[in-house]
A and B are shown apart, each in its own frame.
Chain A
Amino acid sequence: MVFPGTNCEHDVVHALDLIGLQPELVFHKETDLTGFDAVVLPGGFAHGDYLRTGAIARFSPIMGAVTAMAATGAPVIGICNGFQVLCEAGLLPGALVANRDLAFICRPVHLRVETSRSALTTGAASGEVLRIPLNSYEGNYVASPETIREMEAADQILVRYCDASGTISDAANPNGSIGNIAGVCNAAGNVAGLMPHPERAVETVLGSTDGIGLLRSIPAFADLVATRP
């Protein structure tokens, strides 16, 4: 998915190519996603992030088809700015606001996998610690205490910021996200959003290959949905 201002789409295409998928870029003015098994909203600054991050992008023509796809149970993944768009669209709970220290953060962070039930974590084990680059100013996840309680009860929190040993603490929270939350999913698990960039952790030369398991979860989850009785 490419909005005006999206800038991580080629990284995502490269990473999905590497794991053997056949990605195609779709411009936001399209209205049809027929023939696709999954959709990824990559990072960037869709529509300049004017008003709020993702606020204008959620009304792009393609978002009707994205919402329809989400309703079928197919994987709909948002990375960084794509996560913000999915929150604005109401496809994921909560929202993302400016980082606690008002600084743009661009560095690898550690993430602890909390559940393997989503379209982004089917290929990861609960408790596994991943090292993935974070690259954002508005990465601070917020939601009301009731929403957080409901999400925890429904196992909708995918990954939390942690230290290298997997311990969740304030010190390991780069941006102030409530509960160190770095990624969430909807109740069905097929719509998933993640602030760090798994597509930037797919080759040794990039410093980490921990993103591969997350991205491989997308086709694995789609197969699970397809074979569900």
Chain B
Amino acid sequence: MIAPSSPVAIALVGCGSVSRLFYQPALRELRRHGLVNILAVVDPRADARNTLAAALGAAACTTLDEALALRPELVVIATPPAMHRAQAEAALAADCAVLCEKPLAAISVDADAIVTAASRSGRLLAAGHYKRFMPAHRALKTFIERETFGPLLDATLVEGGKFSWPAATDSFFQREQTPGGVLLDIGVHTLDLLRWWLGDPVDFTYADDALDGLEANALLSATFTSDANIRLRLSRDWRTENVYVFRFARATIHSRVNASNQLEITLEGLPMTLAAELREPLPGRPAPPTRALDKNPQAFIAQLVDVCAAIRESRAPFVPGIEGAHALRWVEACYNRRTPLPLH
């Protein structure tokens, strides 16, 4: 990643848990490196707004308009999905670049509208699918594309556990404000990764346990042009192994969820597993160990670095907004094809 030449002026919209737990430490670290200037935080709730503003040394704004008046270059949107469209359109109309948290919007029509608004304004739009920045996921993409261990035969991905996100209100669980459950919440990341690794699915089936509310368990089975069968199980009900297992012709690879710089590789015919930390490459000569690659929080920071660099270099970000729209469209397609899971 290339660092921008001067600090990017940022406004952070939404002072909920994701801002407090992820953006606050990430932005502070980037400011320490002179990469960002945090102008403002925005939230209608005074306590949340003032706490985060104090922590970041930024102006506390009640509305987005107040923050836009401070002329930020980048608006980071970390609010409930139903608010993303209006906020992104307003920021783009004010000539700001936008990094929008996942899902890009509550519904794909809104996501498309955001993408169109970005295109019309000529401003950068990035989707908050930071898991693409994880070294393990980048390595998997390489293994799949180059068939390093032969073709991918199948993959089983299980992710989730008892829900523990410190949701401040119940809006997260009300269909009117958040139109999806575990698939929209954590699954949108996984579907984005699957698309990135394998392209659009050729076919898929989907089942979940929602009654007239939001699903807590979901099962997806998909095929891709590579003929690989992918099975995904998501839960915010019960513990899972939290691992993606990729079975190639000559190796099986376990990638633990959020273990950003680790892979476990079992080579065909070798009765043992290599538990590997991913590091900067070694030269082909005797050399000391190299630096470990990004852990999960560092991968989150890497996305912000990329967006800031993309603004300075007038280039597209690593994960452009259209990718967020694609992932959301797949989520919606799943809901449209939904079959019920037994409740036991």
**Do A and B truly interact?**
no
Chain A residues with a Cβ under 8 A of chain B: none
Chain B residues with a Cβ under 8 A of chain A: none
